[in-house]
Amino acid sequence: MKNFFVVTLLVFLLTACLGNAPTQTELDTLGTVVAETLMAIPSATSTPEPIATEVVATITPEPNTVLPRSLYYLAADSSGKSQIYRLERDGVTLNQITFEQGDLTGFSISPVDGAVVYTMQNKLIIVDANGENGQTLIQESNVENLFNPLWSSDGKIIVYDSGKDTSAYLFDESKNEVLFPGSDAEDIYPVSFSPDGRKLLIRKHKIPSSPESPVLIYDFASQVLMPIVWHNQPYPCFGYISWDTSDNFFCYFHVLAGGVVPGLWRVNASDGSVESLVESFQPPFLLVHAPYQDITGNLYYLYGEDQGMAYSPLSLVRSGADGVTNREVLRPETFNVLNALWTPDGSALLISQNNGSNSLPANLVFVPVDPSLSVVTILADASTLNSDSLRWGP
Protein backbone atom coordinates (compact mmCIF):
# COMPACT_ATOMS: atom_id res chain seq x y z
CA MET A 1 0.00 0.00 0.00
CA LYS A 2 2.84 2.38 0.88
CA ASN A 3 4.60 1.67 -2.44
CA PHE A 4 1.36 2.24 -4.44
CA PHE A 5 0.92 5.64 -2.80
CA VAL A 6 4.50 6.66 -3.63
CA VAL A 7 4.13 5.61 -7.28
CA THR A 8 0.81 7.42 -7.63
CA LEU A 9 2.41 10.53 -6.18
CA LEU A 10 5.28 10.35 -8.65
CA VAL A 11 2.95 9.95 -11.62
CA PHE A 12 0.91 12.91 -10.46
CA LEU A 13 3.96 15.12 -10.03
CA LEU A 14 5.50 14.18 -13.36
CA THR A 15 2.18 14.68 -15.19
CA ALA A 16 1.83 18.06 -13.57
CA CYS A 17 5.29 19.00 -14.74
CA LEU A 18 4.62 17.86 -18.33
CA GLY A 19 1.39 19.87 -18.52
CA ASN A 20 -0.48 18.07 -21.31
CA ALA A 21 -1.20 14.36 -21.63
CA PRO A 22 2.07 12.49 -21.85
CA THR A 23 3.35 11.10 -25.12
CA GLN A 24 4.51 7.48 -25.44
CA THR A 25 8.14 8.57 -25.04
CA GLU A 26 7.27 10.51 -21.94
CA LEU A 27 5.35 7.54 -20.58
CA ASP A 28 8.37 5.30 -21.18
CA THR A 29 10.55 7.79 -19.32
CA LEU A 30 8.04 7.91 -16.50
CA GLY A 31 8.00 4.13 -16.28
CA THR A 32 11.75 4.00 -15.97
CA VAL A 33 11.76 6.56 -13.15
CA VAL A 34 9.02 4.70 -11.31
CA ALA A 35 10.84 1.39 -11.66
CA GLU A 36 14.06 2.86 -10.30
CA THR A 37 12.18 4.47 -7.44
CA LEU A 38 10.50 1.21 -6.55
CA MET A 39 13.87 -0.56 -6.47
CA ALA A 40 15.16 2.07 -4.07
CA ILE A 41 12.22 1.74 -1.69
CA PRO A 42 12.83 -0.78 1.14
CA SER A 43 10.74 -3.89 1.19
CA ALA A 44 7.60 -3.67 3.26
CA THR A 45 8.60 -6.91 4.94
CA SER A 46 9.11 -6.21 8.61
CA THR A 47 12.79 -6.24 9.62
CA PRO A 48 13.69 -6.24 13.30
CA GLU A 49 15.59 -3.17 14.50
CA PRO A 50 19.21 -3.94 15.43
CA ILE A 51 19.80 -4.27 19.14
CA ALA A 52 22.08 -1.59 20.48
CA THR A 53 25.36 -3.13 21.62
CA GLU A 54 28.29 -1.66 23.54
CA VAL A 55 31.11 -0.58 21.26
CA VAL A 56 34.32 -2.23 22.43
CA ALA A 57 37.46 -0.38 21.42
CA THR A 58 40.30 -2.41 20.00
CA ILE A 59 43.23 -1.99 22.36
CA THR A 60 46.72 -2.76 21.22
CA PRO A 61 48.49 -4.25 24.22
CA GLU A 62 51.66 -2.52 25.32
CA PRO A 63 54.82 -4.58 25.11
CA ASN A 64 55.73 -6.33 28.33
CA THR A 65 57.84 -4.12 30.56
CA VAL A 66 60.26 -5.31 33.18
CA LEU A 67 62.14 -2.10 33.93
CA PRO A 68 60.45 1.13 35.05
CA ARG A 69 62.64 3.13 32.66
CA SER A 70 65.25 2.47 30.04
CA LEU A 71 68.66 1.61 31.49
CA TYR A 72 71.95 3.12 30.30
CA TYR A 73 75.37 1.71 31.10
CA LEU A 74 78.95 1.37 29.89
CA ALA A 75 80.14 -1.93 28.45
CA ALA A 76 82.88 -3.11 26.12
CA ASP A 77 81.94 -3.41 22.45
CA SER A 78 83.16 -6.15 20.10
CA SER A 79 86.57 -4.46 19.84
CA GLY A 80 86.87 -4.06 23.60
CA LYS A 81 86.18 -0.30 23.63
CA SER A 82 83.94 1.07 26.37
CA GLN A 83 80.68 2.39 24.87
CA ILE A 84 77.24 3.48 26.08
CA TYR A 85 74.38 1.00 25.73
CA ARG A 86 70.67 1.42 26.42
CA LEU A 87 68.49 -1.47 27.54
CA GLU A 88 64.83 -0.80 26.82
CA ARG A 89 62.00 -1.27 29.32
CA ASP A 90 61.22 -4.76 28.04
CA GLY A 91 64.53 -5.87 29.54
CA VAL A 92 65.51 -7.47 26.21
CA THR A 93 65.97 -4.86 23.48
CA LEU A 94 69.51 -3.49 23.58
CA ASN A 95 70.76 -0.49 21.61
CA GLN A 96 74.34 0.69 21.33
CA ILE A 97 74.33 4.48 21.71
CA THR A 98 77.96 5.41 20.97
CA PHE A 99 80.45 4.07 18.43
CA GLU A 100 83.64 5.90 19.35
CA GLN A 101 87.12 4.72 18.42
CA GLY A 102 88.36 5.27 21.96
CA ASP A 103 87.20 4.27 25.43
CA LEU A 104 84.52 6.34 27.11
CA THR A 105 85.50 7.33 30.64
CA GLY A 106 82.09 8.36 31.97
CA PHE A 107 78.67 9.67 31.02
CA SER A 108 75.61 11.41 32.43
CA ILE A 109 72.00 11.86 31.28
CA SER A 110 70.21 15.19 31.20
CA PRO A 111 67.22 15.21 33.57
CA VAL A 112 65.63 17.84 31.30
CA ASP A 113 65.58 16.28 27.82
CA GLY A 114 67.36 12.92 28.07
CA ALA A 115 70.44 14.05 26.15
CA VAL A 116 73.65 12.18 26.97
CA VAL A 117 77.02 13.75 27.72
CA TYR A 118 80.18 11.67 27.89
CA THR A 119 83.94 12.01 28.20
CA MET A 120 86.39 10.40 25.81
CA GLN A 121 90.08 11.20 25.88
CA ASN A 122 90.24 15.00 26.33
CA LYS A 123 86.75 15.71 24.95
CA LEU A 124 83.37 16.43 26.47
CA ILE A 125 80.75 15.34 23.91
CA ILE A 126 76.95 15.65 23.89
CA VAL A 127 74.49 13.56 21.84
CA ASP A 128 70.73 13.09 21.87
CA ALA A 129 69.08 10.13 23.59
CA ASN A 130 69.72 7.89 20.56
CA GLY A 131 73.38 8.86 20.22
CA GLU A 132 72.77 11.14 17.24
CA ASN A 133 73.55 14.82 16.53
CA GLY A 134 76.85 14.70 18.36
CA GLN A 135 78.63 17.89 19.34
CA THR A 136 81.98 18.38 21.08
CA LEU A 137 81.39 20.91 23.85
CA ILE A 138 85.04 21.25 24.82
CA GLN A 139 88.40 19.75 24.00
CA GLU A 140 91.13 20.46 26.54
CA SER A 141 94.44 20.37 24.74
CA ASN A 142 96.53 20.34 27.93
CA VAL A 143 94.74 17.31 29.45
CA GLU A 144 95.13 13.70 28.36
CA ASN A 145 91.80 12.42 29.69
CA LEU A 146 88.58 13.80 31.14
CA PHE A 147 86.41 11.74 33.51
CA ASN A 148 83.13 11.49 35.36
CA PRO A 149 80.76 14.11 33.88
CA LEU A 150 77.78 14.98 36.11
CA TRP A 151 74.70 16.89 34.93
CA SER A 152 72.96 19.32 37.28
CA SER A 153 69.24 18.85 37.90
CA ASP A 154 68.33 21.98 35.91
CA GLY A 155 70.45 20.87 32.94
CA LYS A 156 72.50 24.09 32.94
CA ILE A 157 75.82 22.80 34.30
CA ILE A 158 78.01 19.77 33.63
CA VAL A 159 80.86 19.26 36.06
CA TYR A 160 83.68 16.84 35.26
CA ASP A 161 87.12 15.68 36.30
CA SER A 162 89.67 17.44 34.10
CA GLY A 163 92.70 15.50 35.25
CA LYS A 164 93.57 17.19 38.54
CA ASP A 165 90.78 19.74 38.71
CA THR A 166 87.01 19.81 39.04
CA SER A 167 85.77 21.84 36.07
CA ALA A 168 82.34 22.91 34.85
CA TYR A 169 80.76 23.54 31.46
CA LEU A 170 78.19 26.34 31.69
CA PHE A 171 75.48 26.09 29.03
CA ASP A 172 74.19 29.65 29.52
CA GLU A 173 77.64 31.01 28.65
CA SER A 174 78.82 28.16 26.36
CA LYS A 175 82.14 27.98 28.17
CA ASN A 176 84.01 25.91 30.72
CA GLU A 177 85.87 26.98 33.84
CA VAL A 178 87.82 25.41 36.71
CA LEU A 179 85.78 25.24 39.91
CA PHE A 180 88.34 23.59 42.17
CA PRO A 181 91.97 23.46 41.06
CA GLY A 182 94.06 20.48 42.07
CA SER A 183 97.81 20.14 42.25
CA ASP A 184 100.64 17.68 41.68
CA ALA A 185 99.99 16.39 45.21
CA GLU A 186 96.19 16.30 45.12
CA ASP A 187 93.44 15.50 42.63
CA ILE A 188 90.05 17.12 43.19
CA TYR A 189 87.16 15.46 41.39
CA PRO A 190 83.35 15.68 41.48
CA VAL A 191 81.31 12.98 43.23
CA SER A 192 77.62 13.88 43.11
CA PHE A 193 75.08 16.70 42.81
CA SER A 194 72.35 16.98 45.43
CA PRO A 195 68.88 16.21 44.02
CA ASP A 196 68.00 19.93 43.94
CA GLY A 197 71.33 20.81 42.29
CA ARG A 198 72.24 23.34 44.99
CA LYS A 199 75.16 21.37 46.41
CA LEU A 200 78.04 19.42 44.94
CA LEU A 201 80.14 16.79 46.66
CA ILE A 202 83.81 16.71 45.71
CA ARG A 203 86.64 14.47 46.87
CA LYS A 204 90.24 15.46 47.47
CA HIS A 205 92.45 12.54 46.56
CA LYS A 206 96.02 12.57 47.75
CA ILE A 207 98.78 11.54 45.32
CA PRO A 208 100.03 8.85 45.56
CA SER A 209 96.99 6.89 46.73
CA SER A 210 96.14 7.55 50.34
CA PRO A 211 93.25 6.77 52.67
CA GLU A 212 93.15 10.50 53.40
CA SER A 213 90.73 11.38 50.59
CA PRO A 214 88.00 13.40 52.28
CA VAL A 215 84.68 14.39 50.74
CA LEU A 216 83.64 18.04 51.01
CA ILE A 217 80.28 19.76 50.42
CA TYR A 218 80.13 22.79 48.14
CA ASP A 219 77.13 25.12 48.37
CA PHE A 220 76.62 27.05 45.12
CA ALA A 221 74.57 29.81 46.80
CA SER A 222 77.04 30.62 49.57
CA GLN A 223 80.10 29.42 47.60
CA VAL A 224 81.30 27.75 50.79
CA LEU A 225 83.27 24.48 50.70
CA MET A 226 82.42 22.61 53.89
CA PRO A 227 84.22 19.55 55.34
CA ILE A 228 82.46 16.49 56.73
CA VAL A 229 83.32 16.14 60.40
CA TRP A 230 82.92 13.14 62.67
CA HIS A 231 84.15 13.16 66.29
CA ASN A 232 85.82 16.52 65.58
CA GLN A 233 87.86 14.98 62.78
CA PRO A 234 87.51 15.24 58.99
CA TYR A 235 85.51 12.23 57.81
CA PRO A 236 86.66 10.69 54.50
CA CYS A 237 83.33 9.02 53.59
CA PHE A 238 84.94 5.95 52.07
CA GLY A 239 83.21 3.78 49.51
CA TYR A 240 79.90 4.77 47.98
CA ILE A 241 77.68 7.82 48.33
CA SER A 242 73.95 8.23 47.62
CA TRP A 243 71.58 11.06 48.43
CA ASP A 244 68.60 10.50 50.69
CA THR A 245 67.17 14.01 50.32
CA SER A 246 68.73 17.29 49.22
CA ASP A 247 69.73 17.79 52.86
CA ASN A 248 71.15 14.35 53.69
CA PHE A 249 73.23 11.69 52.02
CA PHE A 250 74.54 8.23 52.94
CA CYS A 251 78.11 6.95 53.00
CA TYR A 252 78.41 3.17 52.93
CA PHE A 253 80.73 0.29 52.16
CA HIS A 254 80.08 -3.44 51.75
CA VAL A 255 83.54 -4.94 51.23
CA LEU A 256 86.21 -5.62 53.82
CA ALA A 257 89.32 -4.13 52.23
CA GLY A 258 92.50 -2.68 53.70
CA GLY A 259 91.94 -0.16 56.47
CA VAL A 260 88.43 0.71 55.32
CA VAL A 261 85.71 -0.21 57.83
CA PRO A 262 82.43 -1.24 56.19
CA GLY A 263 79.13 0.13 57.43
CA LEU A 264 76.57 2.89 56.97
CA TRP A 265 76.61 6.58 57.92
CA ARG A 266 74.20 9.48 57.33
CA VAL A 267 75.64 12.94 56.64
CA ASN A 268 73.84 16.24 57.16
CA ALA A 269 74.61 18.25 54.01
CA SER A 270 73.84 21.55 55.76
CA ASP A 271 76.50 21.36 58.46
CA GLY A 272 78.63 18.32 57.55
CA SER A 273 77.80 16.39 60.74
CA VAL A 274 77.83 12.59 60.64
CA GLU A 275 75.45 10.07 62.24
CA SER A 276 76.72 6.51 62.57
CA LEU A 277 74.02 3.96 61.74
CA VAL A 278 75.73 0.59 61.19
CA GLU A 279 79.41 0.10 61.94
CA SER A 280 81.85 -2.44 63.35
CA PHE A 281 85.57 -2.41 64.07
CA GLN A 282 86.06 -6.14 64.66
CA PRO A 283 84.51 -9.37 63.33
CA PRO A 284 81.84 -9.89 62.38
CA PHE A 285 82.10 -6.82 60.16
CA LEU A 286 78.73 -5.39 59.17
CA LEU A 287 78.46 -4.87 55.42
CA VAL A 288 75.98 -2.40 53.95
CA HIS A 289 75.20 -1.45 50.36
CA ALA A 290 72.58 0.62 48.51
CA PRO A 291 70.60 2.26 51.35
CA TYR A 292 67.19 3.70 50.46
CA GLN A 293 64.82 5.44 52.87
CA ASP A 294 61.10 5.63 52.02
CA ILE A 295 58.71 8.42 52.94
CA THR A 296 57.63 6.63 56.12
CA GLY A 297 61.20 6.53 57.42
CA ASN A 298 61.87 2.83 56.82
CA LEU A 299 65.38 2.09 55.64
CA TYR A 300 66.08 -0.61 53.03
CA TYR A 301 69.55 -1.88 52.17
CA LEU A 302 71.65 -4.90 51.28
CA TYR A 303 73.23 -6.34 54.40
CA GLY A 304 75.65 -9.05 55.44
CA GLU A 305 78.08 -10.03 58.18
CA ASP A 306 81.66 -10.82 57.23
CA GLN A 307 84.16 -13.09 58.96
CA GLY A 308 86.99 -12.29 56.57
CA MET A 309 85.63 -13.32 53.17
CA ALA A 310 86.46 -11.08 50.21
CA TYR A 311 82.88 -10.96 48.92
CA SER A 312 80.25 -12.03 51.39
CA PRO A 313 76.68 -12.62 50.17
CA LEU A 314 74.19 -9.91 51.14
CA SER A 315 70.46 -10.02 51.91
CA LEU A 316 67.81 -7.40 51.24
CA VAL A 317 66.64 -6.05 54.61
CA ARG A 318 64.39 -3.38 56.07
CA SER A 319 64.84 -1.53 59.36
CA GLY A 320 63.84 1.61 61.17
CA ALA A 321 65.44 4.92 60.25
CA ASP A 322 68.40 4.17 62.53
CA GLY A 323 69.41 1.16 60.43
CA VAL A 324 69.12 -1.25 63.37
CA THR A 325 65.65 -1.21 64.93
CA ASN A 326 63.32 -3.96 63.68
CA ARG A 327 65.77 -5.11 61.04
CA GLU A 328 64.25 -7.96 59.02
CA VAL A 329 65.23 -9.92 55.94
CA LEU A 330 62.73 -9.35 53.12
CA ARG A 331 63.70 -12.02 50.58
CA PRO A 332 65.10 -15.54 50.90
CA GLU A 333 67.82 -15.01 48.26
CA THR A 334 71.30 -13.68 48.89
CA PHE A 335 73.36 -11.73 46.37
CA ASN A 336 77.07 -11.45 45.57
CA VAL A 337 76.95 -7.69 45.19
CA LEU A 338 79.29 -5.58 43.12
CA ASN A 339 76.95 -2.61 42.83
CA ALA A 340 73.23 -1.85 42.93
CA LEU A 341 70.77 0.76 41.69
CA TRP A 342 67.31 1.43 43.13
CA THR A 343 64.32 2.12 40.91
CA PRO A 344 63.12 5.73 41.27
CA ASP A 345 60.06 4.62 43.27
CA GLY A 346 62.02 2.30 45.56
CA SER A 347 60.00 -0.80 44.63
CA ALA A 348 62.99 -2.79 43.32
CA LEU A 349 66.69 -2.59 42.67
CA LEU A 350 69.14 -3.77 40.04
CA ILE A 351 72.06 -5.75 41.39
CA SER A 352 75.26 -6.41 39.50
CA GLN A 353 76.74 -9.64 40.87
CA ASN A 354 80.10 -11.34 40.76
CA ASN A 355 80.79 -15.03 41.29
CA GLY A 356 81.61 -14.48 44.95
CA SER A 357 85.37 -14.64 44.59
CA ASN A 358 86.52 -11.71 42.43
CA SER A 359 85.53 -8.24 41.25
CA LEU A 360 84.45 -9.24 37.74
CA PRO A 361 80.73 -8.86 36.96
CA ALA A 362 78.87 -12.10 36.30
CA ASN A 363 75.22 -11.09 35.80
CA LEU A 364 72.66 -8.35 36.35
CA VAL A 365 69.39 -9.11 38.17
CA PHE A 366 66.22 -7.13 38.91
CA VAL A 367 65.08 -7.66 42.52
CA PRO A 368 61.61 -6.51 43.65
CA VAL A 369 61.20 -5.61 47.32
CA ASP A 370 57.95 -7.61 47.34
CA PRO A 371 59.03 -11.24 48.00
CA SER A 372 55.99 -12.58 46.14
CA LEU A 373 57.53 -11.25 42.90
CA SER A 374 60.32 -13.18 41.24
CA VAL A 375 63.88 -12.07 40.72
CA VAL A 376 64.42 -11.44 37.00
CA THR A 377 67.77 -11.96 35.28
CA ILE A 378 68.34 -8.93 33.05
CA LEU A 379 71.81 -9.81 31.76
CA ALA A 380 72.78 -13.45 32.10
CA ASP A 381 76.30 -12.53 30.99
CA ALA A 382 77.45 -9.18 32.35
CA SER A 383 81.15 -9.82 31.83
CA THR A 384 81.60 -6.65 29.73
CA LEU A 385 79.50 -4.43 32.04
CA ASN A 386 80.95 -1.53 34.01
CA SER A 387 79.08 -2.12 37.27
CA ASP A 388 79.48 1.46 38.48
CA SER A 389 77.89 2.95 35.36
CA LEU A 390 74.22 1.96 35.74
CA ARG A 391 71.93 4.96 35.07
CA TRP A 392 68.16 5.23 34.61
CA GLY A 393 66.93 7.05 31.55
CA PRO A 394 64.38 9.86 31.82
Residue 20's alpha-carbon distances to 14, 23, 28, 39, 249, in angstroms, are: 11, 9, 16, 28, 104
The helix (run of H) or strand (run of E) holding residue 328 is: strand 328-329
- Tell me the DSSP string of 46-92: --PPPPP-PPPPP-PPPPP--SSS-EEEEEE-TTS-EEEEEE-TTSS
For 92, list phi and psi in degrees, rounded to 5: -125, -50
CA distance 269 to 193: 11
Q: Model confidence at 336, in pLDDT bands (50, 70, 90)? A: very high
What is the average per-residue pLDDT within 154-180?
95
Q: What is the pLDDT of residue 354?
A: 95
Q: 43 or 197: whose pLDDT is higher?
A: 197
Q: 274 or 308: whose pLDDT is higher?
A: 274
CA distance 252 to 227: 18
Q: Model confidence over 20-65: pLDDT tens digits?
A: 444 444 444 434 443 444 344 444 444 444 444 444 445 555 567 8
Q: Model confidence at 144, in pLDDT bands (50, 70, 90)? A: very high
What is the average per-residue pLDDT within 171-178?
94
Q: 146 or 16: whose pLDDT is higher?
A: 146
Q: What is the pLDDT of residue 21?
A: 44
Q: Model confidence at 13, in pLDDT bands (50, 70, 90)? A: very low
Q: What is the pLDDT of residue 258?
A: 65
Residue 300 reports pLDDT greater than 90 = yes
Q: 135 or 16: whose pLDDT is higher?
A: 135
Residue 224 reports pLDDT greater than 80 = yes
Helices and strands, counts by H and E, the chain: 2, 30
Q: What is the pLDDT of residue 206?
A: 83
Q: What is the pLDDT of residue 29?
A: 46
| Burial label, 333 (beta-carbon count in 10 A; 0-12, 13-18, 19+) | middle
In contact, 346 and 294? CB cutoff 8 Å:
yes
Q: What is the C-alpha R_g of the chain?
A: 35
The helix (run of H) or strand (run of E) holding residue 25 is: helix 24-40
Q: Model confidence at 211, in pLDDT bands (50, 70, 90)? A: low
The helix (run of H) or strand (run of E) holding residue 9 is: helix 2-18
CA distance 225 to 148: 20
In contact, 155 and 110? CB cutoff 8 Å:
yes
Q: Model confidence over 225-270: pLDDT tens digits?
A: 999 998 888 888 888 999 999 999 999 999 877 667 899 999 999 9
Q: 59 or 118: whose pLDDT is higher?
A: 118
Chain-wide mean pLDDT for the chain?
Answer: 86
- Domain boundary assignment for the chain: 103-227, 239-327
What is the average per-residue pLDDT within 208-216?
77
* pTM for the model: 0.82
The helix (run of H) or strand (run of E) holding residue 32 is: helix 24-40
Q: Is 30 helix (H, G, I), strand (E, B) or coil?
A: helix
Residue 283 reports pLDDT greater than 90 = no
Q: What is the pLDDT of residue 189?
A: 95
Q: Which of 211-220, 273-282, 294-303, 310-319 has the lowest mean pLDDT?
A: 211-220
Q: Please name the CATH architecture into which domain 103-227 falls.
A: 6 Propeller (2.120)
Select from 79, 97, 80 the least CA-distant residue to 88. Answer: 97
Q: 226 or 281: whose pLDDT is higher?
A: 226
Q: Model confidence over 77-88: pLDDT tens digits?
A: 999 999 999 999
Q: What is the pLDDT of residue 14?
A: 36
Question: 67-92 b/e with 16+ CB inside 10 Å = b?
Answer: beebbbbbbeeeeebbbbbbbbbebe
Report the percentage of the chain scoring pLDDT > 90.
71
